[in-house]
Chain A
Amino acid sequence: MYETSSWAIGVFVAFVAFVLWISYHFARRTKTAKGYFAAGGNIHWSVNGIAFAGDYLSAASFLGICGMIATVGYDGFLYSIGYLAGWIVALFIVAEPMKRLGKFTFTDAVDAKFNSKGIQLAGAISTLVVSTFYLIPQMVGAGTLVTPLLGLSHWIGVTMVGTIVIIIVATAGMASTTYVQFLKGGLLIVFSIAIVIVTLYNGLTTQPKSSRDQVFQPLPTLAVTLDADGRPQPQDPAYTLLTTASPAKGMVFAKLTHGDAPSWWHLTKDDNGSDILAGTYWVTTLAQPVTDKNGQLVNTLYNNIPITESKPIQAGHIHKLKYQGQLVQSVPNVSIAEFLEVIKESTITRFLSKTVADGPDKVTVYYQHHTTGREILTPGIKFKVDSAKGATLMDKLNFVSLMMALFFGTAALPHILIRYYTVPTPAAARKSTIVAIAAIGLFYVLTLFMGLGAMVNGVVDLTDNNMSAPLLAKSFGITLFAIISAIAFATVLGTVSGLIVAASGAVAHDLMDRVFNMKLTDHRKVLAGKIAAIVVGCIAMVLGVLFKGMNVSYLVGWAFAVAASANLPAIIMILFWKGTTKYGVMSSILVGIVSSVGLILLSADMFERYGLARSSAPIAIDNPGIISIPLSFLVLVIVSLATRKEADSSDQESSSPPARVRRAVSKV
């Protein structure tokens, strides 16, 4: 378990208090629907740009990407590149037209030309589905963060975030949300810069400190001889071989005993090619729980110690440090270029894991793997793209599909799109997007250094790499950790607030006011929005508890794929193809949702999560984007062509959209 820090708790409480004060301050000014859903439409573009960054840099970016880089190197950085590249679509294609066409929601923009109940319903459903997919990982991330920060259980963390976010959104809607995101976006970037500066200043060493009081201890090795059955027998008589396990072809784990203490070892070779057993870390999941020293039942042990009494397993270091052609023990004060060059030339010890059965128990063994810096700084550790290493065509398609979803998903996320309504003009929408690109681009460059810094500084929690960046900060001192943890928590608050505003707009504005024609007054629409925010917030809390333990980045990948499939084809075709009909838009949104969600649920990755064999999945591809995005475009074109005449006649009969909207559409 992580130790809590009163300093960290203090910073956290101060931050939350400030956020609630912001909400109280803006609540008095938020009386109209325009004020609630679009912050009055008068936010300055520079503030909105940083708020964009606050909206976008969610738990998946700060925690997920840094954690992924810390474990798989460059492949994690590919997410950073894809997430940033998506803003190009937002800037060049979506920003100004969205501002010109819409009022409060994504649906406003796609429906501006048609005024169709069908599009309003499809758009609202799409907003709710994408927002929900995006909300789940944020809430799960909140629970994960609060545990080490405040020593509270996961569900309390989720409830706490849910409650604070409901207060933020229900009091002042988009106004308070904007300033919370502005604050969080700015702080995140400033303190990420601080972490990178300290990382570079400390330099690189083969003997890192994972905290001020925890100095790196290399894992031991034992000389062995292989017996007639190929089993490793330790040469040291103090150790006795109990059993061996082979989780994969050519891989052997050995369970030894030293006195009464069992331990797991990995059979490998030393630099001279001799067989050795290398020490490992291991997590045991017991079939029958044991009682810890406080009398609590526990079924998870870290290296034989109940999880409630054990420190987290943190590891990862430089195995051979090469600087200017020489093997050295440390290199102080490196520049950005030197940092990357030294890592490229060195060898890094990463930890891989395999699970084996030990009687009725399951043991996950984390064993050392010496990886060259060159491998770490090139693609291929996570994404199997190299045919020479056995990558199949499907592996390559999965990779292309992911990069496609990241590129096209950003400009279709409802909580991002609604931020275009908070600025006064289309030009301000464009400028705020540019500020966002600058801020987000800078942050994503920093993720590479934070991730690699965590990888080589002995701080990666082997059981949950999401905490890599905060734990890197902790290795530099508790103050930086306290601030970074509070910011990480704010990261979740900011993004969840934006998502709840988007979902609240979909319910109150799209569904109640427009689809169901409830003719709400301005005041009642704000009230409906607040009630919707409370309901959506409560649902998010329940989902956050139910999905505990599910991979955060994985769920965010879903949201991007669903958004890119459901929303982007409609936005782009409305802007650039005059033949688009309301039936085409409706079909495209619905087919985009159904195909992307359906493909995800039937994928091999999901079948593995259901506990079924990957080979039994009917769909071999894991990321749906490469199928569902083109399919959504295709459906829009085919349906639009098929309904062109009908649409023309119904358009003539229907009431005309507002003059400004007609003018805006005709311009693009």
Chain B
Amino acid sequence: MQHGPATDWSKDKASSFKTRIGVWMFVLYAIIYAGFVIVNTFNPKIMGSDIGGSNLAILYGFGLIIFALMLAFVYNAICTAAEEELNGSEDDELEQEEVA
């Protein structure tokens, strides 16, 4: 039995571009996450520094969650724009299929 994809879709000409963008965004986030882990590991006192009513630990932690969401939205906007530009009308058909 064939074990390819369960559904069919048109050729995605934006695929390699999206992969490159994804890798760069992953590297960016991984660096910031690694920074968080390194500071927690080797200088945890800094994480207790006051910033306004809160501290660095809380703000960095929330920041990582919010930054992940922001990057996700930016990535989606870039990918969607690339799909529209490179795939054109094929993508519109796909969207219609999805909604259906």
Show the binding face of A for B, using Cβ within 8 Å.
34, 37-38, 41-42, 44-45, 74, 77-78, 80-81, 84-85, 87-89, 91-93, 96-97, 99-104, 108, 111-112, 115, 337-338, 340-341, 344, 374, 377-380, 383, 385-386, 388, 396, 399-400, 403-404, 407, 421, 423-428, 430-431, 433-434, 437-438, 441, 444-445, 448, 513-514, 519-520, 575-576, 657-658, 660-661, 663-664, 667-668
B79 touches A424 (CB 8 A): no
A658 touches B4 (CB 8 A): yes
Q: Which of B33-70 contact A (CB under 8 A)?
A: 33, 36-37, 40-42, 44-45, 47-48, 52-55, 57-58, 61-62, 64-66, 68-69
Of A88, A425, A448, which contacts B71 at CB under 8 A?
A: A88
B47 touches A379 (CB 8 A): yes
B44 touches A102 (CB 8 A): no
Chain A hits for B25, CB < 8 A: 88, 92
Chain A hits for B61, CB < 8 A: 74, 77-78, 80-81, 448
Chain A hits for B2, CB < 8 A: 103, 658
Show the binding face of B for A, using Cβ within 8 Å.
1-9, 11-12, 15-16, 18-19, 22-23, 25-26, 29-30, 33, 36-37, 40-42, 44-45, 47-48, 52-55, 57-58, 61-62, 64-66, 68-69, 71-73, 75-76, 79-80, 83, 91, 94, 97-99
Of A99, A386, A661, which contacts B44 at CB under 8 A?
A: A386
A-B contact pairs, 18 of them (CB 8 A): A80-B61, A87-B68, A92-B26, A97-B19, A102-B6, A340-B54, A378-B47, A421-B6, A425-B97, A426-B12, A430-B79, A441-B68, A445-B62, A445-B65, A448-B58, A513-B1, A576-B23, A660-B8
Q: Which of B5, B30, B48, B75 has the most CB of A within 10 A?
A: B5
A42 touches B99 (CB 8 A): no
B11 touches A84 (CB 8 A): no
B40 touches A385 (CB 8 A): yes
CB distance from B42 to the nearest CB of A (A): 7
Chain A hits for B68, CB < 8 A: 84-85, 87-88, 437, 441
B99 touches A44 (CB 8 A): yes
Chain B hits for A93, CB < 8 A: 22-23, 26
A338 CA to B18 CA, complexed, in Å: 42
Of A102, A115, A396, A520, which contacts B5 at CB under 8 A?
A: A102
B69 touches A379 (CB 8 A): no
CB distance from B47 to the nearest CB of A (A): 5
Chain B hits for A341, CB < 8 A: 53-54
A112 touches B3 (CB 8 A): yes
A89 CA to B80 CA, complexed, in Å: 19
Chain B hits for A115, CB < 8 A: 3
Given A77-B61, A378-B57, A103-B6 contact (CB < 8 Å): yes
Of B4, B44, B55, which contacts A660 at CB under 8 A?
A: B4
Chain B hits for A667, CB < 8 A: 12, 15-16, 19
Of A84, A103, A404, A426, which contacts B64 at CB under 8 A?
A: A84
B44 touches A96 (CB 8 A): no
A557 CA to B92 CA, complexed, in Å: 42
A444 touches B4 (CB 8 A): no
Write the chain A residue with the least CB distance to B54. A340
CB distance from A340 to the nearest CB of B (A): 5
Q: Which of A38, A96, A425, A668 has the most CB of B within 10 A?
A: A425
B65 touches A81 (CB 8 A): yes
CB distance from B61 to the nearest CB of A (A): 5
CB distance from A104 to the nearest CB of B (A): 7
CB distance from B39 to the nearest CB of A (A): 9
A636 CA to B48 CA, complexed, in Å: 41
Chain B hits for A380, CB < 8 A: 44
Of B5, B6, B37, B80, which contacts A400 at CB under 8 A?
A: B37
Chain B hits for A388, CB < 8 A: 45
Chain A hits for B64, CB < 8 A: 81, 84-85
A307 CA to B80 CA, complexed, in Å: 59
Chain B hits for A660, CB < 8 A: 4-5, 8
A426 touches B58 (CB 8 A): no
B16 touches A379 (CB 8 A): no
Chain B hits for A100, CB < 8 A: 5, 12, 15
Chain A hits for B47, CB < 8 A: 378-379
A81 touches B71 (CB 8 A): no
A434 CA to B23 CA, complexed, in Å: 16
B75 touches A92 (CB 8 A): yes
